[in-house]
Amino acid sequence: MKWEHPVCNNCKSKRFKILWKGVRNWEFSEVFRIVECTSCGLIFVSPRPKKSEISKFYPKKTYWSFNTKNGSWRKKRESLYGGTLYKEIFKKVKKGKILDIGSGTGLFLSGFKEKGWKVSGIDISKVAAEISDKKLGIKIKTGDFLTVNFPVNHFDIVSLNGTLEHMYKPKEVLEKIAKILKYNGMLEISVPNMQGLGAKIFGKTWYGVDVPRHLYHFTSHTLCDMLLRSGFKIEKMSHSCPDNYKILFESFRYNYSPRFKNVNLKRNGFSSENRIRNIIMQLAKGVSIIIAKILALAEPLIRKGEILTIYAAKK
């Protein structure tokens, strides 16, 4: 594995403090460190795998799995976006041109295609692009957004949902978006929130940490700061997202379920010798669901959502 030690992508400072050591992802054996820039506060993984190595942490069989049979893709779209993002965007533009960066299998774009928008997407995964074309009829480009050409002053909307935290150069990404958006065009961006309740409760074992896929970890301050430096003005910030519940529940599972720690239990979980343990696990799961749902309902009210969504306009 080849590693690199990045400077702060937002302010170029080389000075940082260690926020968390020994950060793990249950899928991988590597251990990571998360640091915070002492100048602007941006939080990021350092050292991190070089770009040539990062594909190891995106298993094709699991990371891009997506079932679109019998219309289930529509249900999945609603469970992920809940209509909230669409409503905010449609308030700004009834019909136009949208580019979704990190478009995956085209799920988010499908909501715009149905309404007659001109949709464009880009993703690093050829597997995701093939699924998007085959299942949804949406052709997307593959490759690194920073190296693919797009027309200047062209798009009404650019969206990044769960994407910016994966980028090696997020500020450069935002600067390029400012160039390809029309004057006063809208950028819609959603990222895991390092100031959310889950991050406060679980710390480095929070599900939203997801090292090393999530190279950057944003707060409302650092994301807004990076947007302002990149040519945007902030119009609206939201802490309401269907993923709030999912991330909280997965955090409980990751921290407390033996299924993440015990391979034999995964394999023989419902054998008679583990019957009592299985009953306890099911009860614990039920309690976790209830707690996660209550916290998820409260988070938008106290502005501590697991997901932070910002709508910004090109200056």
Which of 142, 149, 169, 145 shows the shortest CA–CA distance to 159? 145
**Residue 250: pLDDT over 70:** yes
Same domain, 36 and 96: no
pLDDT (0 to 100) of residue 83: 74
Same domain, 78 and 142: yes
Within a domain: residue 153? yes
Mean pLDDT computed over every residue of the chain: 90
Same domain, 160 and 177: yes
Which of 102, 67, 109 shows the shortest CA–CA distance to 86? 109
Give residue for tokens 């889950």.
198
Instruction: Return the DSSP state at 133.
Output: I
pLDDT digits (tens, 9 = 90+) for 14-67: 999 999 999 999 889 999 999 999 999 999 999 999 999 999 999 876 665 444
Same domain, 230 and 106: yes
Q: Work out the percent of the chain whose per-residue pLDDT is above 70.
A: 88
| Mean pLDDT value of segment 129-152 | 94
Q: Give 75's pLDDT tier (boundaries 50, 70, 90).
A: low
**Kind plus residue range of the DSSP H or E element containing 228:** helix 220-229
pLDDT (0 to 100) of residue 273: 54
pLDDT (0 to 100) of residue 128: 87
Within a domain: residue 81? yes
Same domain, 99 and 178: yes
pLDDT (0 to 100) of residue 6: 98
Q: Which residues pair with 5 in a beta bridge?
A: none
Q: The whole model's pTM is what?
A: 0.91
CB-based contacts of 278, cutoff 8 Å, min separation 6: 269, 270
Q: Give 78's pLDDT tier (boundaries 50, 70, 90).
A: low
Residue 289: count of CB within 10 angstroms of its CB: 14
Looking at residue 145, which CATH number applies to its domain? Answer: 3.40.50.150
* More confident: 152 or 281: 152
Same domain, 139 and 101: yes
Same domain, 138 and 276: no
pLDDT digits (tens, 9 = 90+) for 148-203: 999 999 999 999 999 999 999 999 999 999 999 999 899 999 999 999 999 999 99
| Mean pLDDT value of segment 240-247 | 92
Identity of the amino acid at 140:
I
pLDDT (0 to 100) of residue 7: 98
Q: Give 266's pLDDT tier (boundaries 50, 70, 90).
A: very low
**Residue 269: pLDDT over 80:** no
Number of domains making up the chain: 3
Q: Which domain holds residue 10?
A: 3-57
pLDDT digits (tens, 9 = 90+) for 221-241: 999 999 999 999 999 999 999
Q: Give 263's pLDDT tier (boundaries 50, 70, 90).
A: very low
Same domain, 42 and 161: no
pLDDT (0 to 100) of residue 284: 85
Q: Give 268's pLDDT tier (boundaries 50, 70, 90).
A: very low
pLDDT digits (tens, 9 = 90+) for 91-103: 999 999 999 999 9
**Residue 264: pLDDT over 60:** no
CB-based contacts of 257, cutoff 8 Å, min separation 6: 281, 284, 285
Residue 83, phi-psi category: left (phi > 0), alpha (psi -120 to 50), beta (remainder): left
Within a domain: residue 64? no
Same domain, 234 and 143: yes
**Residue 271: pLDDT over 70:** no
**Residue 70: pLDDT over 60:** no
